[in-house]
Amino acid sequence: MFEVLDQYPDYKLIITYPNADTHGRHLLNIIDEYHSINEDRVFVASSLGQLRYLSLMKHCSAVIGNSSSGLIEAPSFNVPTVNIGNRQKGRVAGDTVLHTDETVRGIAEGIKKATSNEFIERCRRSINPYGFGDASDKIASVLSTIDLNNLICKSFYDLEVLSK
């Protein structure tokens, strides 16, 4: 991935550390080394927190990696995602998501397409398949129409305790 990102020297990169997954420590070392070579254009954070992360997302050109955030949050901001590898296999992905393999060629093709005017326009018209962030309001609205006192509840019967 970093080999491909080197082909975009005019882009600023923000890299967040991975979760505590297998080989996570090794990835931290690779990220830190890449940062030390590219300090002028690469910012690294262990975590940005939810508010900063989402605020940043609405201003970024693309999300690149294998995080679920690229499939779930990025589409809400109409931001292209280059999803690398099969870590998110089986999850619903919207029109803003491009799936690539882990090869330099695959990642390069994904980033090239994600940053193309045609794909950016497609993303602008896209709808997040995960909704609009209003699920809790919808659930509360439905629950407020149900009389919980009249629900059929399962009856329980106590067994007699036999004494000797």
Letter string b/e over residues 72-111, b meaning 16 or more CB atoms within 10 A of that residue's CB: bbbbbbbbbbbbbeeebeeeebbbbbbbbeeeeebbbbbb
Binning pLDDT at 50, 70 and 90, where does residue 164 land?
Answer: low
pLDDT at 158 over 90: no
Structural domains in the chain plus CATH codes: 2-134 (3.40.50.2000)
pLDDT (tens digit per residue) in 99-149: 999 999 999 999 999 999 999 999 999 998 888 777 788 888 888 888 877
pTM, rounded to two decimals: 0.78
